[in-house]
Chains A and B, each alone.
Chain A
Amino acid sequence: MADAPDGYILGNLLLFGRLLRRLGLDVHVGRMLDAIRVLEDIGLERRGDVRAALRTLLVHRRDDLPLFDEAFDVFWRQRKDSTSTMDLRSMGEQRRYRRPSAGPPSPGREPDDSAEPADPDEGFDRVDLTRTFSAREVLRTRDFAEFTPEEMLEARQLMASLQWDPGLRRTRRKEPGRGHGLDVRRTLRHNARFGGELVRLETRRRKEKPRRLVVVCDVSGSMERYTRMLLHFIHSLYAGLDNRIEAFLFATRLTRITKHLGQRDIDRAVSEVAKAVPDWSGGTRIGDVLKEFNFRWARRTLGWGSIVLIVSDGWDHGEPELLSREMARLQRSCNRLIWLNPLAGNEDYEPLTVGMQAAAPYIDDLLPVNNLAALFDLADHLNSLSQSRPVRRQQTLQTTEEEAPIVAASAPQQRSWHAGANPTFRHPLWGRGEPRNGA
């Protein structure tokens, strides 16, 4: 069976490879040669073998396996008629967007900004830079929900100017530098010329890398007035942090939007998410959503000391117990859990909703996101985070009745979290008279 159908198989194999590439699989050209060699070797008698061989040769991502199988079935099916290419077209629907036609939107301009018709004479891509300082001040403190399209555009520019720096984490890798570890190798090398006398000691220190940020944003009905600005906010985070963020949206279900952020216009991403979420403006089930996050994504996104930002008003229609449990779990698996609540900007706000009450014990920082000033404060806050984990009260699980002692951990350098801008809400830990600036 070795070489009988050579030309025929060769042609089909190359066609198949091209099909896979069209479907978005990363098919390695050189690998096609291997495939040909291999099929000569193993023969074509057993369809299962051919499939297994091509699969292991041509696919290298788990997510591509189902697509490959489908393509294989369609392409290499028993020939009843010879019009197999027709069916392939329907599969094109599943093609993933690997190379988007449009680049990332530049932060300053926006093709279509809003549902409202634009002013007839002025385009939105020009902003009047002669606005007075006081006008900017007004903009800073105006609630996002009250923005006009022009203000939104200007706000986006201001946002783009924000500096985001969620701090560094120490990795376990070492690099030459001032540190405590002796770099024996370099020491010996550099001192060999002194005849074995160790004159100068070289040291190593821990290498540091920037932390990653994970944003989980509520886009349910109660958040509607803020959704647009929040998405812009996430987008500016993405740009400002050099792609080191993961972003998710949710109403009742969780949708990952990270890949949309860099490649496409944010507004289009929003409409796509709107399609994916059946009850866009419906109720919120934060507990279920966090559970889904914990199950599916936490392991893959929180591995390296990430900071989690949850953006929600806390109007939750799910079970509070579930929310508590999942919040506890989430907090345990991240470096810092920050909850951004647009309502928290209000002077009289108190976290009284059932959802906020259930979540509160597990939040490291509760901050407002209702206007630009709040975003500036958030940026300041992130930039000033200390490297260590925040001090947390040890929580017992809801399901058990055993008592766990409250850990009076020494608070090394708990930073004051907020430059006094919003004294009405206190951090849950400090609210109980915990030490603020070290024990």
Chain B
Amino acid sequence: MANLSSLREAVRDLIHDGDTVALEGFTHLIPHAAGHEIIRQGRRDLTLVRMTPDLIYDQLIGMGCAAKLIFSWGGNPGVGSLHRFRDAVEQSWPHRLEIEEHSHAGMANAYVAGASNLPFALLRGYTGSDLPKVNPNIRFIECPFTGEKLAAIPSVRPDVTVIHAQKADRRGNVLLWGILGVQKEAVLAAKRSIVTVEEIVDDLEAPPNACVLPYWALSAVCPVPGGAYPSYAQGYSERDNRFYKAWDPIARSREDFRAWMQRHVLDTDDFAGFRRVLAESMKEAA
């Protein structure tokens, strides 16, 4: 049964050093608050999984939390590069980062296979691409019925999946809507799961086909209003495009990055604290 708890307790109890962790979100509903809490609690040697690693993965990688990244597109959406990710891959800073690289179709299918309790995903994919030459986890098998050659990649089975959603009821049933990405599959593929939500309500008022994750399939549900910031939660907040742009110069230099993380994340108690300090520093900058 899902445990309504604080994010600090959920991260402390459910995410351990060395775990494989997927913080999923496809531009929308990215669990930034949970990422910050992982950084605050100093987790190490994580295998991070995500189709579209963006700013929060740049921060986790730059702060030395990750040993490996499994991904299919790593960038700052609409802006350009992830400088901490690039520094880790190009210069091994702060340490070497192992990468396992796929296409979106491969990753999406690997989550579906994980949620389906299958050992691998099967797809028409990667043909003619050099990705199979650099990723031994992309292989090809023959269809037993037609002989057709198909791509096979291992399922994604995270120890913990973390997502952000719009709301939960008091039992811990979670409702999310808008752009859903692979969040449902990522949660169902994982051994444990943490969902941060904008609010707790008496009644989800979910229509029958809505994307509801039942309380008994989740480990922890944590109210963190605005916990996707600078990403957004449809119906609650807008994406802060200016922050995505502002991140570029912060992340370019190792020193500026470290100082920013110290002030905004390590020296704050929680996400509300982060938002307060960020508001102050944005005002200073303006």
Q: Do A and B come from one complex?
A: no
A-side residues, CB < 8 A to B, are none
